[in-house]
Amino acid sequence: MKATTHRYIIGDSFKKLQMEDDTVDLVITSPPYPMIEMWDHIWESEESSITKHIANNRGKQAWQAMHEILDQSWSEAFRVLKPGGYACINIGDATRTLDGRFQIYPNHSRIIQGCQDVGFDFLPSIIWRKPTNAPNKYMGSGMLPAGAYVTLEHEHILIMRKGERRVFAKAEKERRSESALFWEERNLWYSDLWTGIRGTQQRLNISALRKRSASYPIDLPYRLMMMYSVAGDMVLDPFGGVGTTSLAALATGRNSISIDVDDKLVSASQKIPTKRDTKDKLNLLLTNRLRDHMAYVNKKDMLFFRYRNQPLGIPVKTMQEKYLNIYMIKSISRADETVAAKYRKIKPTEIKECLSIDITE
Ligand SMILES: C[S@@+](CC[C@H](N)C(=O)[O-])C[C@H]1O[C@@H](n2cnc3c(N)ncnc32)[C@H](O)[C@@H]1O
């Protein structure tokens, strides 16, 4: 894997995308959340009845109308995905009080329905538990029963697939082997409960625009890309915001297209990859991967690791990890709406720096 490209486009993903059918390997996205007030203007500008529904406290009708707008996006995601391609959708449910009635609007279940209706198969999915210590996280009547509500401290990552499992062509097999996960990454990531994802967001807190775009931490698209695509694939985020998905694509050696309706966010997302320290921050994700693996190796009996990974010369647990490879970002450049990255093999000195055991023995 020598190079990738990343396009940042101003566009409306509630409409037909300017993309051919069956051209994308993976969709990773987080749409505006229906019934979360910060996004009301988005839905209201699409459908005037939504303003009236909210003004007249018709919460369920407003919610349904918002999802009907979003359904078109799932239909487009399905159309542009290649057969066997995945869509990973991060969504939170919304709580809201209208006319004195507090209730939850279960966005995740309505999106599952919307995706199934356009043809997706719904697969085992992930609860992302977001740690919060905020004292105001409890809702309702406090210590007095029975008017308090359980706190909402999780979001969903819904995993959809277009048809049957992807069949890898012969020419793709090397990319697939190089894209293998470490044993312990597999064990942690293919779990239905993700906790403690906050660290990387702090490490990669690149822009103040994150709040405006309600961006997710880079760990989310990073893990999902490693789990549901291989290096060299094309990843689409139709609600790209500040381009977190594309940053993860840069780090993992996938190509990407990021679409957002907000021209300021698109403009910012184009600039972030070529900022002075972005390359180093992304490369840190890669060396940390190796460091975490070696920390795991150190905790175990060496007999546990039956194989030696060839490109990196490190112990691994399974045959499938034998050709796993890590490519560092060599350069990131930008021309208009497109960012290009070049990669290089990780240097033996960099590998050594990541290891706390002597691998030459
Ligand atoms: C939850 S945010 C996604 C944030 C993104 N994952 C990130 O890390 O920056 C939803 C995004 O959808 C964008 N959006 C809203 N309506 C849109 C539309 N019709 N087409 C494309 N993008 C839209 C918003 O501007 C916002 O950036």
Can you give the pLDDT at residue 207? 52
**CB 43 less than 6 A from any atom of ligand 1:** no
Distances (CA, A) of 41 to 81, 114, 137: 29, 22, 25
Cβ atoms of 74 and 114 closer than 8 Å: yes
Q: Which amino acid is at 304?
A: F
> Which token pair is 132?
């919060």
Q: Which CATH number applies to 3-279?
A: 3.40.50.150
Q: Low-confidence residues of the chain, pLDDT below 50?
A: 199-205, 358-361
**CB 257 less than 6 A from any atom of ligand 1:** no
Can you give the pLDDT at residue 353? 84
**CB 261 less than 6 A from any atom of ligand 1:** yes
Q: Which residue minimizes the CA distance to atom 22 of ligand 1?
A: 260
**CB 260 less than 6 A from any atom of ligand 1:** yes
Task: Please tell me the distance between residue 259's alpha carbon and the centre of ligand 1 in angstroms.
Answer: 8
41-66 in b/e burial notation, b at 16+ Cβ within 10 A? ebbbebbeebeebbeeebbeebbebb
Distances (CA, A) of 355 to 37, 284, 304, 340, 344: 48, 14, 18, 30, 19
Cβ atoms of 73 and 238 closer than 8 Å: yes
Can you give the pLDDT at residue 24? 98
**CB 255 less than 6 A from any atom of ligand 1:** no
Q: How far apart are CA 356 and CA 353, in angstroms?
A: 8
Domain ranges of the chain: 3-279
**CB 252 less than 6 A from any atom of ligand 1:** no
Q: What is the length of the chain?
A: 361
Share of the chain above pLDDT 70, in %: 94
Under DSSP, is residue 149 helix (H, G, I), strand (E, B) or coil? Answer: strand
Instruction: Name the residue of 36, 73, 239, 244 whose CB sits within 8 Å of the most ligand 1 atoms, as the mutation to test its pocket.
Output: 239
Can you give the pLDDT at residue 132? 75
pTM of the model: 0.95
**CB 259 less than 6 A from any atom of ligand 1:** yes
Residue in the structure block whose two tokens are 């919304």: 94
Instruction: Name the residue of 261, 264, 272 whose CB sits within 8 Å of the most ligand 1 atoms, as the mutation to test its pocket.
Output: 261
Instruction: Name the residue of 16, 260, 262, 264 whose CB sits within 8 Å of the most ligand 1 atoms, as the mutation to test its pocket.
Output: 260
Note if the bond before 146 is cis, omega within 30 degrees. Answer: yes
Can you give the pLDDT at residue 134? 78
Nearest to 290 by CA among 271, 267, 306, 313: 313
Extended strands (E) in 92-217: 94-98, 101-105, 121-129, 139-140, 148-149, 154-161, 193-194
Task: Please tell me the distance between residue 92's alpha carbon and the centre of ligand 1 in angstroms.
Answer: 14
**CB 86 less than 6 A from any atom of ligand 1:** no
Instruction: List the Cα angle 320/196/143 in 5-degree steps.
Output: 145
pLDDT tens digits along 318-341: 999 999 999 999 999 999 999 999
Task: Please tell me the distance between residue 3's alpha carbon and the centre of ligand 1 in angstroms.
Answer: 27
**CB 268 less than 6 A from any atom of ligand 1:** no
Can you give the pLDDT at residue 200? 39
Residue in the structure block whose two tokens are 């994308």: 24
Q: How far apart are CA 18 and CA 21, in angstroms?
A: 10
Instruction: List the Cα angle 282/235/10 in 5-degree steps.
Output: 90
